[in-house]
Structure 1
Amino acid sequence: MGGAFCLASGLAYARLPQPVAPVIEKPAFEKLIPKTVGAWEFETSSGLVLPPPDALSDRLYDNLVTRTYSSEQNPLMMFLTAYSNTQDGVLQVHRPEICYPAGGYELTPTQATKIDNGVGGTIDANIFTASSRGRTEHVLYWTRIGDYFPLAWSDQRLAVIRANLRGVIPDGVLVRISTIVPEMDEALPLMSKFAAQLNQNMNAQGRALLSGIPA
């Protein structure tokens, strides 16, 4: 019986989900994000709405990059990406619908959309508008959990479960692009263009991490 229990324990341990993505050091991750994106140039790392601080923040975001890009021809673009090499049932990247209300914004309903990934494919993404006193920000974002691009929190949890059933602890990334122009109809083409050119200006590792494009 003892041997049987040991065998069962060994099999159970062997079937435990295991991380498949290596940890990326912060300086290396930051270098993946280009400082030039099409006509936009990196300006500053401040001025963005950030995820709310909590006791798990350091673990949730192994890598957090925030940037503002300016252009003579186009409106300012605000960019945030948060990456972790492990996503499980407890630790998962926040979605922007959490951080904007925490900053005092009111949100329009989130809508699903598809955008050009810049290299011949599309990305399943979400859009909404966040408004506060004196500021209206249009937001485009997507999350990648392993091989999935979940559009809702429930889908995000399901993506983790599916990966776990394959014996995998997936990595996860949030990519958020936002701008301040009068209407979403004007903002969405600009944000989509920025996203496509972001991929075009990244190397293969960066495209794979942020947009799931095979290296």
Structure 2
Amino acid sequence: MLTAAGIAAARKPDIQIDYMGSHKLDEIVPTNIGRWKFVTASGLVTAPPDQLQRAVYSQLLTRVYYDGEAPIWLLLAYSANQTGFLQVHRPEFCYTAAGYSLSDFGHHRIALEAASGFTTNSLTATRDDRIEKMVYWTRIGNHIPLSWAQQKLAVAGDNLRRLIPDAALIRISTTGDDGPAAMSRLDAFAQAMIASVAPPLRRVFIA
């Protein structure tokens, strides 16, 4: 028992991964991203108020951007210490709670000029006459897991290496009634958003 206690104490996570530092999301994400301009902070689908009250986020940013053709809805949730509450803003939770039906689940790769790109989750949310195409991804420390199970494994794996990872969830959506064109807009916005952030802080989104 003493040996087990000693090993547990020696392996206790104590190395913090914190890519945000003292920065604020609303400061590092510009109001003009490529051809899109910030128009409002409201109108996005979010978790019910009771779930939000239980969520432990360091920061939460919601914005609507517009380029004269179609809106882009952006939600960013950041946790300095990964506690497992990032699931509150996963579309499977908040869109279902808001009465949307979800379909077209899949993976979607976003290419980047300075890197090989990364893979996101993609889906379609429908309620009445509103259709949203979206991509979203979570960054846990230096990982971008594609499922809730992978997210928990990433945290556990980092903890075994004595790491306490920070975490970010990025959700980007747009009107989806024009199919492939909507996905093209999401690609272009994600690429422009990451390029618009100062290089040292891009790790907040893609490690």
Q: CA RMSD in A?
A: 2.4
2:101 is the counterpart of 1:106: yes
Q: Which has the higher contact order (CA 8 A, sep 6+)?
A: 2
Shift of 1:55: 5.6
- State the distance in 2 between where 1:160 and 1:29 align: 23
Given that 2:79 and 2:168 are in contact with CA atoms closer than 8 Å, whether structure 1 keeps it comes out as yes
Q: In the superposition, relative to structure 1, how do residues 57 and 132 fare at CA in structure 2: closer, same or farther (>3 Å)?
A: same
- Contact preservation (8 Å) 1:117, 1:195: no
Give the match's secondary structure for 2:118.
strand
Alpha-carbon shift at residue 64 of structure 1 (Å):
0.5
Superposed, 1:166-177 pairs within 5 Å as 166-177=161-172
- Summarize the Cα distance change of 1:60–1:28 in structure 2 as closer, same or farther, 3 Å threshold: same
Matched with 1:40 is: 36
Aligned to 1:146: 141
Task: Note the C-alpha offset of 1:120.
Answer: 3.2
Alignment of 1:1-215 (within 5 A): 5=2, 9=5, 11-18=7-14, 20-22=16-18, 28-54=24-50, 57=53, 59-72=55-68, 74-88=69-83, 90-94=84-88, 95-212=90-207
Question: Aligned equivalents of 1:183 and 1:26: distance in 2?
Answer: 40
The alpha carbon displacement at 1:121 in A equals: 2.6
Are the counterparts in 1 of residues 86 and 169 from structure 2 also a CA contact under 8 Å?
A: no
Shift in Å at residue 181 of structure 1?
Answer: 3.7
Distance 1:25 1:134, change over 3 A: farther
- State the Cα distance separating 1:177 from its structure 2 match: 0.5
Secondary structure of 1:191's aligned partner: helix
Q: Which moved more, 1:195-204 or 1:7-16?
A: 7-16
> Aligned pair in 2 of structure 1 residues 20, 27: CA closer, same or farther (>3 Å)?
closer
The alpha carbon displacement at 1:96 in A equals 1.4
Post-superposition offset of 1:9: 4.3
> Could you list the per-position Cα deviations for residues 110-135 of structure 1 after superposition, in whole angstroms to 9, with x for gaps in the alignment?
20111123533312101111000121
Gaps of 5+ in 1: none
Structure 2 regions of 5+ residues with no counterpart?
Answer: none
In structure 2, what residue type is equivalent to 1:163?
D
Q: Which amino acid in 1 is paired with 2:198?
A: N
* CA separation of 1:162 and 1:57: change in aligned 2, threshold 3 A: farther
SS in structure 2 at match of 1:31: helix
State the alpha-carbon separation in 2 of the partners of residues 175 and 122 from structure 1.
15
TM-aligned CA distance change 1:113 to 1:48, over 3 Å: same
Q: Which deviations, in whole Å up to 9, do the C-alpha atoms of 1:159-209 show, x marking residues without a partner? A: 111111111121111101100141331111110100000011111243110
Normalising to structure 1: TM-score of the pair? 0.85
